Amino acid sequence: MTLRLGDTVPDFTQDSTEGPIHLYEWMGDSWVVLFSHPADFTPVCTTELGTVAKLKDEFAKRNVKPIALSVDDVESHKGWAGDIEETQGAAVNYPILADGDRKVSDLYDMIHPNASNTLTVRTVFVIDPNKKLRLNLTYPASAGRNFDEILRVIDSLQLTDYHKVATPANWKDGDDCVVVPSIKEEAELKANFPKGYTVIKPYLRMTPQPNK
């Protein structure tokens, strides 16, 4: 199954380090970051799981639940969690799916035959409370994921869901935003952007971040 942005993600039930996870029930009305790993006891992934554990408060304030996946079993995951805490200085504080039967890996197209017939690629899925896929990033095995970037994109998604703006290149929370091109009438511009806006080109208008 190939998931595209805007698709409703498939539901599943799978074992994890925190017991069976039924995705839709587990996520409730939260956002979810689902991120996959080729196997337990791998070096780059060890740093990633520790990083996500350290970002628990950052995810929580954005109403985001992280959940990891590896194809090894729960006992292996628990052993790995000990190494993660020892080497990264943070205990794993979110579930790790035990996808030994590749059920979730297949549902979410995490097995790429040209990379490996058996190991999941290192993918990130950002899922909104409506169960829609909002971001899909796939990394090579040699490059660790940038979770600050993932948080940045979640900030952008949550902002632009509620305000008629887009975010420019290298935007960070608090920076100026782009007025969406669909707003053209002066009255609508004033109503949506009481802080004002700057016209750089007719199609490029900047405004202070509306929710700051």
pLDDT attached to residue 150: 97
Residues catalogued as catalytic:
45
Beta strand 64-70 pairing with 96-98? parallel
Query: Distance of CA 67 to CAs 14, 85, 190, Å?
Result: 12, 17, 41
Is residue 148 within 8 A of residue 162, CB to CB? The reply is no
Domain with CATH 3.40.30.10 in the chain: 13-145
* DSSP SS3 for 156: helix
pLDDT attached to residue 1: 63
pTM for the predicted model, two decimal places = 0.92
Domain with CATH 3.30.1020.10 in the chain: 163-207
Answer whether residue 121 shows pLDDT above 80: no
**Residue-wise DSSP of 99-151:** -TT-HHHHHTT-B-TTT-SSSBPEEEEEE-TTSBEEEEEEE-TTS---HHHHH
| pLDDT band at residue 37 under the 50/70/90 scheme | confident
Phi/psi of residue 136, each to 5°? -140, 115
Can you tell me the mean pLDDT for 97-113? 85
pLDDT in tens, 149-187: 999 999 999 999 999 999 999 999 999 999 999 999 999
Class of domain 13-145: alpha beta
| pLDDT band at residue 116 under the 50/70/90 scheme | low
Answer whether residue 114 shows pLDDT above 70: no
Answer whether residue 117 shows pLDDT above 60: no
pLDDT attached to residue 120: 52
Was domain 163-207 assigned CATH 1.10.150.120? no
Can you tell me the mean pLDDT for 36-40? 87
Answer whether residue 113 shows pLDDT above 80: no
Answer whether residue 137 shows pLDDT above 90: yes
